[in-house]
């Protein structure tokens, strides 16, 4: 599907409900294993785990290089099972608002926080889609969420996230290229007969333009992390 194809409002709502239902059921079981140290994963899932970890490690390296994590408030939009939230808490982040569309994911992230952190009180958890997130945060982060949404919906969502970010916004998404589009069409990029959500590729210029309209500009930190069956563009933006 061409990322520029615009769905109607009803299509976006349906897309969200599919994502919500999937990650509260079979999707939760699958991705909870992927985002863990479990050996109960197949080769594709293990590669996705490695690719996501590359993106996570890159982001954490950027934050560590800045050296001010303890002075910042964070919003982890689409927190999943806490793969980013927990490392932020271990680094002493002042406060972290972690949210996800899936109640099952939020409950697992909360469980991991309670059982692995010395002090999880810096984290507040919320269940809801991206547009329901409220508040203001020094830094807003949204990792590997937009793969579930087409370009127009993703641009709307990223504009809302921009309204929450006082200083910085970091997002990652599957980038659109002709080659990856071909791979996707033939089913090689995101395989799996039981996959219940679509996988969308986004045009970087559309995301950058949407955030430019909201007063944000790229900082120059921009990297493509890849692994077999995983492609993710991570970009940092700052308020102008």
Does position 24 have pLDDT exceeding 80, yes or no?
Answer: yes
Q: Which domain holds residue 38?
A: 13-237
CATH of the domain at 209: 3.40.50.150
Pairing of strands 123-127, 230-239: unpaired
Q: What's residue 4's pLDDT?
A: 42
Q: What's the pTM value of the predicted model, to 2 decimals?
A: 0.89
Q: Is residue 3 part of a domain?
A: no
Confidence category of residue 182, pLDDT binned at 50, 70, 90: low
Write down the mean pLDDT value for the chain. Answer: 90
Does position 115 have pLDDT exceeding 80, yes or no?
Answer: yes
Q: Kindly report, residue by residue over 53-98, the tens digit of the pLDDT.
A: 999 999 999 999 999 999 999 999 999 999 999 999 999 999 999 9
Q: What's residue 180's pLDDT?
A: 57
Q: Is residue 231 part of a domain?
A: yes
Residue 6: count of CB within 10 angstroms of its CB: 11
Q: Is residue 19 part of a domain?
A: yes
Q: Is residue 95 part of a domain?
A: yes
Q: Which range, of 4-18, 29-43, 124-138, 226-240, averages the lowest pLDDT?
A: 4-18
Does position 107 have pLDDT exceeding 60, yes or no?
Answer: yes
Q: Is residue 124 part of a domain?
A: yes
Average of per-residue pLDDT across 3-31:
76
Average of per-residue pLDDT across 32-51:
93
Number of domains observed in the structure of the chain: 1
Q: Is residue 94 part of a domain?
A: yes
């Amino acid at each position: 599907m061409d990322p520029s194809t615009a769905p109607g409002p009803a299509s976006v709502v349906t897309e969200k409900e599919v994502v919500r239902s999937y990650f509260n059921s079979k999707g939760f079981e699958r991705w909870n294993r992927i985002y863990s140290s479990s050996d109960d994963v197949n080769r594709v899932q293990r590669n996705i785990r490695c690719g996501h970890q590359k993106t996570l490690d890159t982001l954490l390296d950027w934050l560590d290089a800045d050296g001010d994590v303890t002075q910042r408030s964070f919003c982890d939009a689409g927190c999943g099972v806490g793969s980013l939230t927990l490392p932020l808490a271990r680094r002493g982040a002042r406060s972290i608002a972690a949210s996800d569309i899936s109640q099952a994911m939020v409950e697992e992230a909360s469980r991991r926080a309670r059982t692995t952190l010395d002090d999880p009180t810096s984290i507040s958890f919320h269940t809801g889609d991206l547009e329901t997130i409220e508040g203001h945060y020094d830094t807003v982060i949204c990792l590997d969420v937009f793969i579930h949404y087409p370009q127009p919906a993703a641009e709307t969502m990223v504009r809302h996230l921009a309204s929450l970010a006082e200083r910085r916004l970091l997002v990652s998404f599957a980038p659109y290229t002709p080659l990856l589009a071909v791979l996707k069409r033939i089913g090689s990029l995101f395989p799996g007969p039981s996959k219940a959500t679509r996988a969308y590729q986004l045009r970087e210029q559309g995301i950058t333009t949407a955030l430019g309209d909201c007063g944000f500009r790229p900082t120059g930190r921009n990297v493509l992390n890849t692994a077999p069956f995983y492609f993710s563009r991570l970009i940092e933006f700052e308020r102008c």
